[in-house]
Amino acid sequence: MSRDGLRSVASLLAGGALLLLGAALPAHLRSVDEAVLVAAGVGTGRVIDVAERVLQENRLGVARMLSMAVPPGEVEAAKAFAGKIEAVAQAHPALTRWGGPAEWLDKYYGRLVPETTTAGGPVLGWMLRIEIREVALRALAGSSDPTVIALLACRDIEKTAILPPVRSSAGQPMEAALLTAASLLASGRMNPGLALEFERAAVSARQGKGTERLENGLLDLLGASRQLDWEQLSTVCAACPNLNGLRAVATAAGAQGASWPVVLAGISLDGGSDRLSVFLLRHGAGALADVRASFRLGEGAVRELLKRGLRLKPQGRIRFPHPVVGRLAHESPRALLAAKFLAWIDGLFLVILGLTYAVQASQKRSVNASTPKPDVIVVGVMTATAAIVLFLASERYFVSEPGAVRTTGALVSGAGFRLGLRTDLPHVTNLAMNGKILGMLVVFFAIQFCIYLIGLSRLRYIRMQAVEDAIKLRLLDNEEPMFDAPLYIGIAGSVLALVLRLTGFDEVSLMASYSSTLFGILFCFMLKVMHVRPYRQHLILDSAVRLQP
């Protein structure tokens, strides 16, 4: 084997090893690796352990929901735990009315809501009753809380956009939602940020500036209260920092409420903080599957996932076997991410260098004599371009993140009426599309810039040749296709993007596809007009001077 062949094999093997090493390191910029959550969950409680703590606080409703959210490996423990819930319910029947201790509700509504008939019952089931609403109005009328006052004042609004006004014959849902929100505030069970937004929306509605924001918030509250008892609803509202967070949580739970156990388990495992609603607001309802997947790894894994606020990346086939790497990714994520990208850059450099040596080894000696040795600048530029593409692909800039699924409503029935509830998505699709478009623009620009620098390298090689100007002119003519390469690649990128769009890939952006041709035109113009043309003119003039007697 020739020397170039040996260099090629050695470079390719070393580069491939470094690329595999980089792929095995559990460090990512836009997601969190499962290995990190495994390290964070070591020694922390399971879902059933958190449910035990919740039950000790006599929060029966939340404990019941947590027992429904256990991972498959804890099903038997959940069945045994269900017996403990029933034992506590029988020992303390007063807790079954609201799903937990609620002194404020006991004081005003206790005599109207029997203990035995509403165990774990939804809030809307009893708040729609006219006698409950009358008692609620009397109990809340003397409140000095500005948010409660603002909400109760909205009962007099005559023109609404979504819900029928309270004073109309079908105004029970809006009144029930207003009284539910006011009761949560009066009993101190609503997040201060959510309370502030309810107050602002109510004041704005009273001033005639539009009722849509208030009504949308009330709709989300109605959707939750249709499925949850008082303790469960209070836990959710305490963990939502604003109206958008409440909407994200309600949307993730689904129109039929099938995912409420996962939502409440995520809130409870994170210590009741508002990070779950922020996580869902950022990534959409599809991110709730990541929270569910982290349950089997322990309480610490859930907290780590919500703390980072990134989507979960399952462990791939290529992974570093030693658990120390997972702990390092947990404790020093930036350092491991830098090591990952450094390994990829070095690996790509060696692979491209090895391919260059392989091409030279396959050529005849006569051809190699006139071919320059591998240009470090060209190899470096190609490495940087490949690294950018690899980074964007590994961080999923070319694929839109799955957003929440729009639901067009569940029917809320009671007191002889029906109302279609509408819950919209958090606006995450535009952000995902913008990230993908930006990634495609960066790739097209990097490829064109790489070809531009390679063209400059070829021009520099011709300049350095110790031959006559006439020969250099012929060499320039020979390199003409290389100088036109930015335009060819740009058109090819646009055509490929349009073909993908016509074959069903609707997420491909027309702006990104046309930018490929635009970048090609710009870099081709810069290369030929600003570099090749002046040098060609210089050679022609020098040749003419030498021909003169």
Average pLDDT over residues 321-339: 83
Enumerate residues 6+ apart whose C-beta is below 8 A from 302. 41, 266, 269, 270, 291, 294, 295
pLDDT at 264 over 70: yes
Beta strands 411-414 and 417-420 are antiparallel
Enumerate residues 6+ apart whose C-beta is below 8 A from 188. none
pLDDT recorded at residue 222: 93
pLDDT at 203 over 90: yes
Within 13 Å of residue 306, how many CA atoms lie on the same side as its CB?
31
Using DSSP, state whether 151 is helix, strand or coil.
helix
Indicate the range of 141-155, 291-305, 509-523 predicted with least confidence: 509-523
pLDDT recorded at residue 80: 87
* CB contact at 8 A, 383 and 350: no
Range 451-461 burial, b when 16+ CB lie within 10 A, else e: bbbbbbbbbee
> What confidence tier does 417 reach under pLDDT thresholds 50, 70, 90?
very low
pLDDT at 190 over 90: yes
CA distance 303 to 266: 9
- Highest average pLDDT, of 234-243, 382-391, 485-494, 499-508, comes from 234-243
> What confidence tier does 478 reach under pLDDT thresholds 50, 70, 90?
confident
* CB contact at 8 A, 205 and 159: no
Taking CA atoms, 274 is separated from 132, 151, 191, 193, 268, in Å, by 30, 23, 9, 10, 10
Percent residues over pLDDT 70 in the chain = 85
Closest residue by Cα to residue 221 from 192, 182, 265: 182
pLDDT recorded at residue 243: 93
pLDDT recorded at residue 149: 93
- pLDDT tens digits for 45-100? 899 999 999 999 989 889 999 999 988 888 888 888 888 888 888 888 778 878 88
Percent residues over pLDDT 90 in the chain = 31
pLDDT at 27 over 50: yes
> What confidence tier does 291 reach under pLDDT thresholds 50, 70, 90?
very high
Taking CA atoms, 446 is separated from 172, 228, 393, 435, in Å, by 60, 52, 14, 16
pLDDT at 1 over 70: no
CA distance 233 to 105: 14
Mean of all residue pLDDT scores within the chain? 82
> What confidence tier does 254 reach under pLDDT thresholds 50, 70, 90?
confident
Indicate the range of 58-62, 116-120, 280-284, 393-397 predicted with least confidence: 116-120
pLDDT at 161 over 70: yes
Average pLDDT over residues 350-364: 81
> What confidence tier does 321 reach under pLDDT thresholds 50, 70, 90?
low
What is the distance, to the nearest Å, from the Cα of residue 297 to the centroid of all Cα atoms in its chain? 21
Range 103-121 burial, b when 16+ CB lie within 10 A, else e: ebbeebbeeebeeeebbbb
pLDDT recorded at residue 372: 57
- DSSP track, 381-430: HHHHHHHHHHHHHHTTTTSPPP-PPPB---EEEETTEEEE--BPPPS-HH
Q: What's this model's pTM, rounded to 2 decimal places?
A: 0.74
Map out the domains of the chain as residue ranges. Answer: 39-313, 350-401+428-547
> What confidence tier does 425 reach under pLDDT thresholds 50, 70, 90?
very low
Q: Which residue has the higher pLDDT, 365 or 411?
A: 365
Return the H-helix or E-strand segment holding 24.
Answer: helix 3-24
pLDDT at 120 over 60: no
Q: Which residue has the higher pLDDT, 438 or 367?
A: 438
Indicate the range of 167-181, 286-300, 302-316, 350-364 predicted with least confidence: 350-364
pLDDT at 452 over 60: yes
pLDDT at 453 over 80: yes
pLDDT at 458 over 80: yes
pLDDT at 415 over 90: no
Indicate the range of 413-427, 448-462, 519-533 predicted with least confidence: 413-427
Alpha helices, DSSP H only, in 115-164?
123-127, 130-141, 146-153
Average pLDDT over residues 249-261: 89
Average pLDDT over residues 388-402: 70
pLDDT at 444 over 70: yes
